[in-house]
Amino acid sequence: MDDIIDQANKRRTFAIISHPDAGKTTLTEKLLLYGGAIHLAGSVKARKTTKHATSDWMEIEKQRGISVTSSVLQFDYHGFRVNILDTPGHQDFSEDTYRTLMAADSAVMLIDVAKGVEEQTKKLFKVCKDRGIPIFTFVNKLDRFGRNPFELMEELEKVLGIRAYPMNWPVGVDGNYNGVYNRRLAQIELFDKDGSHGQRALKSTVGNVNDPAFRQILGDAAYQTLTDDIELLDMAGDQFDYEKVAKGELTPMFFGSAMTNFGVQPFLEEFLRLAPAPTPRQTSEGTAGMDSDFFSAFVFKIQANMNPAHRDRIAFIRICSGKFERGMTVQHVQSGKQIKLSQPQQFLAQDRTIVDDAYPGDIIGLFDPGVFGIGDTLCPVGQHFYFQDFPVFPPEQFARVQAKDTMKRKQFVKGMTQLTQEGAVQVFQQPDVMESFVIGVVGSLQFEVLEYRLKQEYGVDILMHQLPYGVARWITGDGLNPKALKSMDNCMLLLDTKDRPLILITTEWQLNWVQERNPGVEFRSTPPDLPKE
Ligand code: G4P
């Protein structure tokens, strides 16, 4: 038991959230560089365009240079085991992103110093805020000066509603920065430029801010600006309050530049010191955390055909309590089956390694024989609890799809079934319509992904017709007869894969209209069920 707690305490499992182009790939790569997991930066980014892409497993991602699915990167640093959950970075993201955030214990919010808080950052921030996890801010691209740091702090508060506590502060004037000032240690760290364009870890000079040598190196103007700023922060800024950080009410803010390695290592070290070890998760029968004496984990992502040569399906699980051992048999609560976990894997880039054991906070990939679903629980044999509050996102865009060639119907149904199990799309059937499905997605890129994958992986061309609905509601109610619903013009009645009725409606306004006229009916944005006991 002590061993499990010791091991879990070393884990830091987090996700980096940002708007595209803020530098997430670059920062991730630099963290791997400092963590010793790679030896020359550029290898992750360069892989974007080669067949060895790190998180870009799918062809569509390579073509577009974006990451459609999430992956997990792991490395050790100064006694910590770091698990970085990679979230998709493109505009049009899916539920996958949100679900990945469920597996994280904290988040690093990456902001471009010139652009401040952008659209996607806001959405992802909200998910983290709702979960109440600590959020750390890294203001990137400091080598290319943008906005005033005080102004950025204000923006975080106005736009996101979170106050910031700067952990460090840029050193230099007018965008010409050559270091950062660490407030906790009252130390300046100046970076040597080495001409390698950030490919290697930078050497730096560290010392006390009052050391006259620094005044000399910095020059009077930069030194004065720094001391004025620090005085202002100390007097007018928030106190550092760990409780507030832990609840996601105060964000420790760091300045740096991922590309040139400014401040990356100090950030990593402070982050690991402050970020939480694996936090307990709520189950239907209490909590599961590092001091629980049983194994538990949940599935947060499923991906099929990650390796085209093997045609496999991988279910990614996050361990919440207990020790995972290769070959152990666990209860899969949702199917009621007992499953032997014989080939667990961990991932760094394309390299997979078999894991023998893992602890709370760790993420592992399991070969999925087709039984796992997103949000499913694994627990000790004979037990039946499940993890709560796993988000189900109501789809917002809908399309009718069918196989172009009716002879390919069998492959079409197989592909649709598998991709639904992955959680990439939700599939519905219109009663009495057999040849086509209606699919629902959160972001429209998923339509393209579906079309592409059906063709690549199942050899099926599809016809797709987007439908004019924006809201889905599962309907329940005593003695409900869906066909007797009133005022259902411009609605579509469907059944989900478990034959539960739902309706598609154009707008929230129309939903209100239908709701008012059907008082005995409950309209739910998520399916009305709980896992099987
Ligand atoms: P993303 O994953 O968040 O989408 O961003 P990514 O790391 O791909 O970075 C987006 C662009 O920003 C890249 O430039 C990258 O080099 C640049 N970048 C990242 N960090 C910094 C930084 O600290 N300073 C500056 N000045 N730029 C930074 P690109 O031109 O799109 O690609 P590349 O040709 O540099 O690879």
- Please, which residues have CB within 8 angstroms of residue 317's CB and are 6 or more apart in sequence? 297, 298, 299, 300, 363, 364, 365, 366, 378
- Segment of 87-91, 253-257, 348-352, 447-451 carrying the highest mean pLDDT: 253-257
What is the rounded distance in angstroms from the CA atom of residue 286 to the CA atom of residue 281? 9
Dist. CA 204 → ligand 1 center (Å) = 22
Above 70 in pLDDT, residue 268? Answer: yes
Domains and CATH numbers, the chain: 7-274 (3.40.50.300), 281-379 (2.40.30.10), 397-524 (3.30.70.3280)
The mean pLDDT of 424-435, rounded to a whole number, is: 86
Q: Whose alpha carbon is nearest atom 36 of ligand 1?
A: 45
- Single out the residue of 220, 139, 146 nearest to residue 180, CA to CA: 139
| End-to-end Cα, the chain, rounded Å | 29
The mean pLDDT of 362-375, rounded to a whole number, is: 81
Above 80 in pLDDT, residue 65? Answer: no
* Percentage, residues of the chain above pLDDT 70: 81
What is the rounded distance in angstroms from the CA atom of residue 127 to the CA atom of residue 98? 7
Residue 245 half-sphere exposure toward CB, CA atoms < 13 A? 22
Around ligand 1, the residues with Cβ closer than 6 Å are 18, 20-26, 45, 89, 140-141, 143-144, 257-260
Q: Could you identify the atom of ligand 1 that is nearest to the CA of residue 89?
A: 4
Residue to substitute in 141, 144, 259, 267 for testing ligand 1 pocket (most ligand atoms within 8 angstroms of CB): 259
The mean pLDDT of 35-43, rounded to a whole number, is: 60
**3-class SS of residue 461:** coil
What is the rounded distance in angstroms from the CA atom of residue 133 to the CA atom of residue 248? 5
**CB atoms inside a 10 Å sphere around CB 443:** 20
Residue to substitute in 16, 21, 191 for testing ligand 1 pocket (most ligand atoms within 8 angstroms of CB): 21
Q: What's the pLDDT tens digit per position in 172-182?
A: 877 677 788 99
Dist. CA 107 → ligand 1 center (Å) = 20
Q: Whose alpha carbon is nearest atom 24 of ligand 1?
A: 141
Q: What residues does 179 pair with on adjacent strands?
A: 171, 190
